[in-house]
Structures are given as C-alpha cells and as structure tokens.
C-alpha cells in the first residue's frame, strides 16, 4: 500500500512542474508589460519599477527566483493590490472558498448518492424517470444560469433569503451559493450512482445475499454500497475541479470575497502575479486532491494496488 | 432524439433568419425605449436592454456567436483528437504508452484556468477563444479514437493496405480515419455543449466575446446586472442557453446509446 501511495506521489510531481512552467511562460510571453498604462511613464521611473519587481532580469533568472520563492510559499507581490503579497491575498480568500466548496461536495454526495440509489432500486418507475430527468437538466444548466435564477426567485421576488453576502450574518446566506455549486454535481453523482448500483445489484454475490434472506436495506448498506461507490470516487477528482471553477462564478454572482473573486478581478485587471499565483495554487490543490482520491481508491479496492 | 434535433434546428433557423425579419439591428440604441419588457410595440419581442438595444436581435446574434464558437472549437478538438488518437493507436507500443501517459497528465490539469490565463496574457482575441477551447477538449476524443484504432488496425483491409505498400500516414488518414466516423460524430455532439459551456463561462466573466459583439454568456451576464428591474434580460438568454445545452446533451446521449447498441450486435 505504501509503495502504491509513493508511486502515485512521484507521478504527481512532473504534472505539477509542467503546470508551473506552462503558467509561468504563458504570463511572461504576454505582449506588453504589467505596468503599461494609458500614460507612458518616464523612462527612469519605468526602469526603477522594473528593477523593483525584477522584470529586468532574463527569463531563466526570473524563473529561478520565482521557483525559489514558491518553495518557501512566497508567490511574489501583487501588481495591482499595492502592499499585498499574492500569498496574503490567497490566504484571505481561500478559507471562504474552502467552506463553500466543502459544503457543496458534502451536499452533492448525500443527495446524489441517495437519489441515485433510490432510482436504481426502482428502475423504470416514474420516480426513476423523474430523478433522471432532473439529473439531465442539472448537468445541462450551467452554474452561472442556476445562480442568478435562484437569486431572482428566492431573494429578489420572494424575499425568503438574502441575495448578497455582505450585510448579513445569518447562516442562510450560505444556502443559495452552496445549492448552486452542488446542483450539477448532484446530477452527475446521481447518474453515476444509479448506473453502477444497477450493475452491482445484478451480480451474483447480491443474489446470494438475497437468497440468504437479507433485506434490501442491509444489502445496500453492507454489500452493494462499497463497490457501487468506486465510479463515484473516481469522479471526485473532476468534481473538485468543477466545484473550484464553479466557485469562481458563484463568488461573482453572490459577491462572496473568496479566492475566485480575486482570480476574476486579477484577470480583468491584468494582475499577472496574482493570476499566476492562483492558477498554481488551484492546480496544486487539484493535483493533491486527485492524489488523495487515487490513494483512497487503492484503499477501497485492493485490486488496483497490484496492477 | 428527434425532438432534441428538431429543437436545435428550430433555434438555428431562428438565429439565422430572425435578425433579417426584425426591423431592429443589434447596435442601434434607442434612448426612448430603455429597459422595455417584451412587447409587440417596435417589435421588441424580447424587450430592450439598458441602452435601448433590441434584445431579440441581440439574442439571435448571441446564439449565432455561441454556436459558431462551439462548432469551430469542436472541429479544432476533432482534428487534434483524431490525429493524436489514431497515431497512438496505430503505431502502438512504446509510442502509444508515452502518448497516452501524456494525455493522462493533461487530464489532471485545470484547463479552464489556463484558458483564463491565456485570455489575460493575450488580449481577448476571438480566434484565440476558438483555439483555446478546442485545445482543451480533445482529450476524450483522443482516448476514444485510440481505442477504436487499436481494434481497427488488426482488420484485414489494413493488412491488405500495408502489404500493397501504402505509407503509414496514408493508412491512418485514408483507411483508419473514415472508419472512425460513427463514433467521432457521437463525441462531437457531446463536445459541442462542453465548448458552449466554456465560451459562455468566459463571456459571463467578461473575458470572452467583447462589446458590442455578444454571446449567450455575455447576455446572461448583462441580465444578472439588471435582473432586479428587468428580469427578462436574464431569463430569456438563460433559458435559451439551457435549452440548447440540454438538446445537445440529449442528442449526444441518444446517439451514443444507439451507437453502443449497434456496436454490440
């Protein structure tokens, strides 16, 4: 098991390096400097600014400087938010995004696995068809459509829930953003669970359990759930990536001061170091979580360890 | 399946013909008719926006742009994916292993963030949107094409071609590729909604199509800003986007089931 985990860890390192190099090169290949304003700066001022941000060095020098900073957790200064480092900005935005993301994943797993299992048990029934139509709809409608429509309905028209983030302390402000984020994932997980549960329930060991007189609840709980969860587990990697992408939109729509909002603001303001830092941070997070999913897969299904 | 195809065809026709039939154009501002709700007066079927522009024509234009970006991006991913997958599958061996390992690595990358990075680094260039979206969507295609090629290359007609001295690139493009058509068509139908999603996501964030051009994503974004007084500005483009995405997904799913069933026989 340890060997399997270590092999996976080694495999993740080149991916991470690739991400950093690609992102770094992309930002530095950009035409025009980060401080090009409408009014040209005097030459000596421009030179001083470039020297202060080490933009006068050669590309390999800059890369080495960036890498050594990165290893110490320093992503450099933000070009637009004066007096803040990128690490400070990430540190202030990430906890908010993390809370949202975790709640969304939890909700997606609970509702998705639950409704998928029920649909699988009543395959072909009206309930099954309703759940599956909902799932197809949930997959098709993008987060940036669901979010605003929910706000329009529940906050603007019905006044049941707060529309924004700031100005309210009630925990209800989490409800709409979390539902918006979770909805497409609920849909995917429900579809995956249904398909794999139907497959597992047709296996011989389930027939044996049933022949021994075990009830449906016990069969699901002790025999079917674990093997049926394997496809859902391998979907967790893409799900996390989708929730991170979704949180960029959700934070824009609901005005939540999280990492996604910094990312979009940075992108629109051409704050190169901030955008670069957040891309690297997101990528590291996704790769690390994929790694954890891979290792968990090995824990649940011993067969993959010995391949 | 027929229903989804019908809906898509109808929307496409509307997007092509609609702007001709309307007396309004997408640029014309009318400060006497700001934020009008959908009405027959002035033929503002979808209302007007905060600059008094006719939203029916703008929405039709948005659909055109969205569909065009999606189709071109899918073609880009089709060309990359089919070439990559067919070469890996046909050549096989160590080349195949390395090429597929590379695809696995790319799968782990958060591509959408790279697209945003690209948009930040190089001005928001229309062509770049096509290429960038196409470049992130070829991975699935490459995997599927490789799988099909692996079985195709063992078939007699490929042996025959090889024996008569046909070159490897020619075998791949003239003998293998045409036989991949069925599955490729299915996966393009599933790639198009993904491309639509990425394009409208970027436009929604203000990183995609730029004013006065528009796309469904950009229209949804404008609608969000005005939804408290003018809910039609959000609801019309949002529901059209949802219907288009749903139709493509249903169509793709149905085609895939059909193809799988045919394949199993």
Encoded tokens for A209 = 């359990």
Task: Give the mean model confidence (pLDDT) for residues B172-195.
Answer: 84
Helix then strand then coil, in percent of chain B rounded to 5, is 75, 0, 25
- Torsion over CA: A33, A37, A40, A41 (sign): negative
Residue of B109, B245, B252 best to disrupt the A interface, most CBs of A under 10 A: B109
Chain A partners of B210 at a C-beta cutoff of 8 Å?
none
> A167 near A217, Cβ under 8 Å?
no
Task: Give the mean model confidence (pLDDT) for residues A252-281.
Answer: 84
Domain that holds residue B122: 2-16+55-263
Helix then strand then coil, in percent of chain A rounded to 5, is 80, 0, 20
Chain B partners of A275 at a C-beta cutoff of 8 Å?
116-117, 120
- CA-based end-to-end distance of chain A: 12
Residue of A16, A33, A145 best to disrupt the B interface, most CBs of B under 10 A: A145
Chain A partners of B245 at a C-beta cutoff of 8 Å?
140-142
pLDDT at residue B7, as a whole number: 85
Chain A partners of B249 at a C-beta cutoff of 8 Å?
136, 139-140
pLDDT at residue A108, as a whole number: 93
| Position B247 in a domain | yes
Chain A partners of B235 at a C-beta cutoff of 8 Å?
149, 152
Chain A partners of B123 at a C-beta cutoff of 8 Å?
31
| Position B161 in a domain | yes
CA–CA gap between residue B246 and residue A262 (Å, rounded): 31
pLDDT at residue A109, as a whole number: 93
> A185 near A104, Cβ under 8 Å?
yes
pLDDT, greater one: A98 or B111? A98
Share of chain B above pLDDT 70, in %: 90
| Position B45 in a domain | no
Structure confidence by residue, pLDDT tens digits, A25-64:
887 776 655 666 656 677 777 777 777 777 777 778 888 8
Residue B124 maps to which CATH number?
A: 1.10.3720.10
CA–CA gap between residue B1 and residue A138 (Å, rounded): 19
CA–CA gap between residue B35 and residue B47 (Å, rounded): 7
Encoded tokens for B97 = 């292993």
Please tell me what DSSP assigns to residue B48: B
Q: Contact A142/B197, CB-based, under 8 Å?
A: yes
Residue of B4, B108, B189, B205 best to disrupt the A interface, most CBs of A under 10 A: B108
Q: What is the mean pLDDT of chain B?
A: 81
Least confident of A165-174, A228-237, B54-63: A165-174
Whether the pLDDT of residue A79 is over 80: the answer is no
Structure confidence by residue, pLDDT tens digits, A95-135:
888 889 999 999 999 999 999 999 988 888 888 888 888 88
Residues 6+ apart with CB under 8 A from A297: A230, A233, A234, A304
> B198 near B70, Cβ under 8 Å?
no
- Torsion over CA: A169, A170, A176, A178 (sign): positive
Q: Contact B220/A244, CB-based, under 8 Å?
A: no
Task: Give the mean model confidence (pLDDT) for residues A294-300.
Answer: 81
Q: How distant is the Cα of A11 from the closest Cα of chain B, in angstroms?
A: 9
Q: Contact A241/B207, CB-based, under 8 Å?
A: no
Alpha-carbon distance values, B18 to A257, B10, B12 (Å): 41, 11, 10
| Position B26 in a domain | no
**Chain A residue with minimal CA distance to B121?**
A30
Side-chain-facing half-sphere of A299: CA atoms under 13 Å: 8
| Position B66 in a domain | yes
Q: Contact B245/A140, CB-based, under 8 Å?
A: yes
CA–CA gap between residue A116 and residue A131 (Å, rounded): 8
Q: How distant is the Cα of B129 from the closest Cα of chain A, in angstroms?
A: 15
Q: Contact B227/A148, CB-based, under 8 Å?
A: yes
Residue of A142, A248, A250 best to disrupt the B interface, most CBs of B under 10 A: A142
pLDDT at residue A306, as a whole number: 64
Nearest to B55 by CA among B82, B36, B31, B83: B36
pLDDT at residue B123, as a whole number: 66
Exposure class string for B154-163: b at 16+ Cβ within 10 A, else e: eeeebeebee
Q: Contact A264/B205, CB-based, under 8 Å?
A: yes
Whether the pLDDT of residue B157 is over 80: the answer is yes
| Position B146 in a domain | yes
Task: Give the mean model confidence (pLDDT) for residues B10-37.
Answer: 74
What one-character-per-residue DSSP string does A22-84 give? Answer: HHHHHHHTSSS-TT--SSPPPHHHHHHHHHHTTTTS-HHHHHHHHHHHHHTT---B-SSSTT-
| Position B107 in a domain | yes
Q: Contact B201/A249, CB-based, under 8 Å?
A: yes
Structure confidence by residue, pLDDT tens digits, A154-199:
877 787 777 667 666 677 778 888 999 999 999 999 999 998 888 8
For residue A22, what pLDDT band results from cuts at 50, 70 and 90?
confident
**Chain B residue with minimal CA distance to A152?**
B227
Chain B partners of A249 at a C-beta cutoff of 8 Å?
201, 204-205
Chain A partners of B122 at a C-beta cutoff of 8 Å?
30-31
Q: How distant is the Cα of A138 from the closest Cα of chain B, in angstroms?
A: 9
> A197 near A113, Cβ under 8 Å?
no
pLDDT, greater one: B119 or B220? B220
Q: How distant is the Cα of A297 from the closest Cα of chain B, in angstroms?
A: 16
Structural domain total, chain B: 1
pLDDT at residue A76, as a whole number: 79
Chain A partners of B234 at a C-beta cutoff of 8 Å?
148-149, 152
CA–CA gap between residue A306 and residue B144 (Å, rounded): 26
Q: Contact B234/A149, CB-based, under 8 Å?
A: yes
Q: Report helix, strand or coil for A85.
A: strand
pLDDT at residue A103, as a whole number: 93
Backbone phi and psi for residue A211, each to the nearest 5 degrees, phi listed first: -65, -30
Neighbours of A236 (CB within 10 A): 20
Task: Give the mean model confidence (pLDDT) for residues B145-161.
Answer: 87
Q: Contact B117/A29, CB-based, under 8 Å?
A: no
| Position B21 in a domain | no
Least confident of A34-43, A76-85, B57-66, B109-118: A34-43
For residue B250, what pLDDT band results from cuts at 50, 70 and 90?
confident
Q: How distant is the Cα of B180 from the closest Cα of chain A, in angstroms?
A: 27
CA–CA gap between residue A283 and residue A116 (Å, rounded): 30
Chain A partners of B120 at a C-beta cutoff of 8 Å?
27, 30, 266-267, 270, 272, 275
Q: How distant is the Cα of B242 from the closest Cα of chain A, in angstroms?
A: 5
Q: Report helix, strand or coil for B228.
A: coil
CA–CA gap between residue A2 and residue A6 (Å, rounded): 6
Q: How distant is the Cα of B164 from the closest Cα of chain A, in angstroms?
A: 40
Chain A partners of B113 at a C-beta cutoff of 8 Å?
245, 263, 278-279, 282-283
ipTM of this predicted structure: 0.76
pLDDT at residue B31, as a whole number: 67
Q: What is the mean pLDDT of chain A?
A: 83
Nearest to A97 by CA among A258, A234, A224: A258
pLDDT at residue A104, as a whole number: 93
pLDDT at residue B35, as a whole number: 65
CA–CA gap between residue B127 and residue B40 (Å, rounded): 37
């Amino acid at each position: 098991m340890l060997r399997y985990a270590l092999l996976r860890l080694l495999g993740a390192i080149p991916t991470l390096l690739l991400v950093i190099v690609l992102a770094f090169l992309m930002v530095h290949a950009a035409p025009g400097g980060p401080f090009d304003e409408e009014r040209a700066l005097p030459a000596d001022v421009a030179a001083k600014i470039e020297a202060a941000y080490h933009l006068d060095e050669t590309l390999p020098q800059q890369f080495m400087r960036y890498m050594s900073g990165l290893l110490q957790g320093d992503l450099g200064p933000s070009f637009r938010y004066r007096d803040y480092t990128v690490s400070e900005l990430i540190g202030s935005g990430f906890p908010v995004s993390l809370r949202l993301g975790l709640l969304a994943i939890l909700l997606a797993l609970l509702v998705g696995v639950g409704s998928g299992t029920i649909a699988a048990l009543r395959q072909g029934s009206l309930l099954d068809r309703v759940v599956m139509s909902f799932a197809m709809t949930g997959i098709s409608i993008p987060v940036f459509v669901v979010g605003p429509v929910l706000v329009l309905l529940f906050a603007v028209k019905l006044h049941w829930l707060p529309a924004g983030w700031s100005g309210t302390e009630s925990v209800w402000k989490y409800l709409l953003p979390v539902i918006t984020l979770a909805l497409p994932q609920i849909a995917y997980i429900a579809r995956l669970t249904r398909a794999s549960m139907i497959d597992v329930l047709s296996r011989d060991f389930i027939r044996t359990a049933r022949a021994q007189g075990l009830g449906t609840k016990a069969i699901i709980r002790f025999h079917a759930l674990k093997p049926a969860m394997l496809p859902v587990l391998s979907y967790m990697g893409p799900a996390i990536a989708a929730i991170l992408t979704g949180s960029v939109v959700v934070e824009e729509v609901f005005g939540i001061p999280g990492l996604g909002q910094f990312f979009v603001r940075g992108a629109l303001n051409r704050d190169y170091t901030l955008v670069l830092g957040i891309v690297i941070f997101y990528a590291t997070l996704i790769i690390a979580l994929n790694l954890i999913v891979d290792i968990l897969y090995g824990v649940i299904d011993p067969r993959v360890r010995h391949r | 399946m027929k229903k989804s195809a019908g809906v898509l065809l109808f929307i496409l026709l509307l997007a092509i013909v609609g702007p001709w039939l309307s007396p309004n154009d997408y640029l014309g501002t009318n400060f006497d008719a700001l934020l009008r709700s959908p009405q027959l007066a002035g033929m503002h079927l979808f209302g007007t926006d905060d600059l008094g522009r006719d939203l029916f024509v703008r929405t039709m234009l948005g659909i055109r742009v969205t569909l065009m970006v999606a189709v071109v991006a899918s073609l880009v991913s089709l060309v990359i994916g089919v070439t990559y997958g067919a070469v890996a599958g046909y050549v096989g061996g160590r080349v195949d292993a390395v090429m597929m390992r590379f695809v696995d690595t790319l799968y782990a990358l958060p591509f959408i963030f790279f697209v945003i990075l690209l948009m930040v680094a190089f001005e928001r260039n229309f062509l770049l949107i096509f290429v960038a979206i196409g470049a992130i969507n070829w991975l699935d295609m490459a995997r599927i094409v490789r799988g099909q090629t692996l079985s195709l290359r063992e078939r007699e007609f490929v042996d025959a071609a090889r024996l008569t001295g046909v070159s490897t690139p020619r075998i791949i493009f003239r003998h293998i590729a045409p036989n991949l058509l069925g599955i490729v068509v299915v996966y393009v139908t599933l790639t198009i909604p993904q491309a639509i999603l990425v394009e409208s996501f970027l436009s929604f964030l203000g990183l995609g199509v730029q004013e006065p051009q528009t796309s469904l994503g950009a229209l949804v974004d404008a609608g969000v800003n005005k939804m408290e007084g003018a809910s039609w500005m959000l609801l019309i483009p949002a529901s059209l986007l949802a219907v288009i995405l749903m139709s493509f997904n249903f169509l793709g799913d149905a085609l895939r089931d059909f193809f799988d069933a045919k394949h199993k026989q």
